[in-house]
Amino acid sequence: MSSHESCIKRAIGGDDQAFLQLMQIYKLDLYKTSLAFLRNEEEALEAIQEVMYRAYKKIHSVRDAAYCKTWLIRIMINYCNDQIKKQKRFVFNEEILNLQGISENYNGVELKDAIMRLDERSREILTLKYFNEMQINEIAFAWQCPEGTVKTWLNKALKLLREKLEEKGGGFHV
């Protein structure tokens, strides 16, 4: 990450070219994160657009270049969480679409569904940890809380995920 640091610093300082360069570095992480939360490619692209908009307006407030990626991913997760809230009432219809649509990986669909049923904090921590492969200390910094707290929440999230998977299990497991 440190090799990107000067680019990040220039972007924070208002350099447009550096900003766009930075987004090239993180675009795949952002895209995949959005896809993990949202229903399809179209929504994921819309998310990218919105996150660019939010990031550009706020990048000057990033205080530590080393956490720029975390910062960006969190903007994405926040956006996705908002979208999920808006969609809540459609969730049940969409499940069927998801089953047919996304992939041959049956487990993936089931897992995604379980993640969507978690609370926002659990969803965020699982995404940061397992999807974006962030370290506990990075998450602790982003959330401005002790690492111990992150670990507790992570455990809670995993426990909840297990419950959701189990409660779903009956109907869908092969």
Partner 1 sequence: MFEKEEEQLSQYRNTFENLDIPIKAIDDAILTGFQRAKLEKKKRVMGKKVVFSLTAAVLIFIGFFASIRMSPAFANSLSTIPGMEKLVDLIRTDKGKMSAFENDYYEKINISQEKNGLTFTIEGAIADENGLVIFYTLTSREKHKEIQIENVKLESANGENLNMGSSSFDSTFSSEAGQAQQVKMMEFYLQTPIKTKEFILNVRVKGGPKQEDFSLDFQIRKNIQPKKEYVLNKSITVEGQRMTFTKAVIYPLRAAVTVKMDPNNTMRLLYFDDIRLVDEQGEIWNKINNGITASFITPDEMILYLQSNYFREPKELYLVLDKIQAVNKAEAQVVVDAEKQQIIKQPKGDIFRSMYVNGENLLFSFKTEKAFNSFLFSKITDGNGQTIESDQSFMNGWDESQMTEMGVHIPNLTNQVNPVSLELSSFPSWIEGHERIRIK
- Which of 79-87, 88-96, 99-107, 117-125 is the region at the interface with partner 1 (rule: CB under 8 A)? 99-107
Cα 73 to Cα 11, 19, 77, 94, 98: the distances in Å are 16, 15, 6, 25, 24
Question: Residue 146 corresponds to which tokens in the numbers above?
Answer: 């002790």
Question: Coil, strand or helix: which one is 39?
Answer: coil
By CB under 8 A, residue 95 contacts partner 1: no
Between 1 and 20, CB nearer to partner 1: 20
Among residue numbers 135 through 174, which ones bind partner 1 (CB under 8 A)?
155, 158-159, 161-162, 165
Coil vs helix vs strand at 144: coil
Angle (CA) 164 122 101, round 5°: 60
Residue 121 contacts partner 1 per CB under 8 A: no
Q: Does 31 bind partner 1 (CB under 8 A)?
A: yes
The H-or-E segment that residue 79 falls in is helix 68-87
Strand extents, DSSP E, 43-94: none
**Contact with partner 1 (CB under 8 A) among 6, 40, 58, 172:** 58
CA-closest candidate to residue 127, choices 24, 35, 23: 35
C-alpha–C-alpha distance, residues 33 and 150, integer Å:
20
Q: Indicate the residue among 130 and 143 with the shorter CB distance to partner 1.
A: 130
Nearer to partner 1 (CB atom), residue 15 or residue 147: 15
What residues from 72 to 91 belong to the interface with partner 1 (CB under 8 A)? none
Number of residues that bind partner 1 (CB under 8 A): 47
Chain residues binding partner 1 by CB under 8 A are 12-14, 16, 19-20, 23-24, 27-28, 31-32, 35-36, 41, 45-46, 48-58, 60-63, 103, 105, 107-108, 111-112, 126, 130-131, 155, 158-159, 161-162, 165
